[in-house]
Amino acid sequence: EPEVTQTPSHQVTQMGQEVILRCVPISNHLYFYWYRQILGQKVEFLVSFYNNEISEKSEIFDDQFSVERPDGSNFTLKIRSTKLEDSAMYFCASSETSRLATQYFGPGTRLTVL
Amino acid sequence: QKEVEQDPGPLSVPEGAIVSLNCTYSNSAFQYFMWYRQYSRKGPELLMYTYSSGNKEDGRFTAQVDKSSKYISLFIRDSQPSDSATYLCAMMGGSEKLVFGKGTKLTVNP
């Protein structure tokens, strides 16, 4: 069964450093998403991406965040200058043909900012 | 009022019990309702997807949506220890973002 994959599974970084989280969405999916879950809190929407541009973003997704689809398979989330409060699980998701279709989640990347 | 409210539990039941999990919401624009299961430190796994009001059954799982009351439920029949996980309700409507509840942690004891 096709699945969303994410790398790395765990990333440790120093405050102020840049990190790139990588995702490979399901191959025939056209809509891509990033969510995050701070420990003990809700899963929160960050951004959605379609046709090589951001289609929606939350207030969390400020200028320190960016997303990119550098090739036909990868989808990345970059955090330019990490803060302690960026420590969280980051989940990538993808959906098939409609922005209202089911979203399938990857296993997540645990980001720890020291 | 929070957009989606879900009792975090924890909920502990004996094997074989019927489990009822619930969420309430405030946004009338929500039309799509999902239940995800999440094991510790893993990604949410889709269990059920329902559009608008009504019931949907899949094996031991039944999802119910009552839009007039802004209330959704997930029932698990004949619960198994392997059902032990956190169950997240999620909703969507008017935009493509999923809005999640906080999740209910369920333990099914053998």
| % of chain A beyond a pLDDT of 90 | 81
With contact defined as beta carbons under 8 Å apart, do B58 and B43 qualify?
A: no
Rounded to a whole number, what is the distance in Å from the CA of B91 to chain A's nearest CA? 10
Answer positive or negative: Cα dihedral of B84, B86, B89, B92. Answer: negative
Q: What confidence tier does B87 reach under pLDDT thresholds 50, 70, 90?
A: very high
- Chain A residue numbers with beta carbons less than 8 Å from the beta carbon of B91 are none
Q: Which pLDDT does position A70 carry in this prediction?
A: 86
Q: What confidence tier does A102 reach under pLDDT thresholds 50, 70, 90?
A: confident
Compare all CA atoms of chain A with the CA of B98 and give the residue at the minimum distance: A45
DSSP assignments along B40-102, one per residue: TTS--EEEEEEESSEEEEETTEEEEEETTTTEEEEEESS--GGG-EEEEEEEE-SSS--EE--
In whole angstroms, what is the distance from residue A45 CA to residue A58 CA?
7
Whats the size of chain B, residue-wise?
110
Q: What confidence tier does B6 reach under pLDDT thresholds 50, 70, 90?
A: very high
| % of chain A beyond a pLDDT of 70 | 97
Q: What confidence tier does B94 reach under pLDDT thresholds 50, 70, 90?
A: confident
Q: Which pLDDT does position A2 carry in this prediction?
A: 81
The residue-averaged pLDDT of B48-68 equals 92
In whole angstroms, what is the distance from residue B63 CA to residue B29 CA?
19
Compare all CA atoms of chain A with the CA of B92 and give the residue at the minimum distance: A100
**Partner-chain contact B96 A41, CB within 8 Å:** no
Compare all CA atoms of chain B with the CA of A106 and give the residue at the minimum distance: B43
Q: Which pLDDT does position B109 carry in this prediction?
A: 96
**Partner-chain contact A110 B41, CB within 8 Å:** yes
pLDDT tens figures, A38-56: 998 999 999 999 989 999 9
Is the model's pLDDT at B99 over the cut of 80?
A: yes
Interface test mutation site (partner B, options A105, A111, A112, max chain B beta carbons within 10 A): A105
Burial A39-66 (b: 16+ CB within 10 A, else e): eeebbbbbbbbbeeeebbbbeebeeebe
Rounded to a whole number, what is the distance in Å from the CA of B27 to chain A's nearest CA? 16
Size of interface A-B (CB pairs under 8 A): 53
Rounded to a whole number, what is the distance in Å from the CA of B17 to chain A's nearest CA? 27
**Partner-chain contact A48 B96, CB within 8 Å:** yes
pLDDT tens figures, A71-100: 878 999 999 999 999 999 999 999 987 666
Is the model's pLDDT at A101 over the cut of 80?
A: no
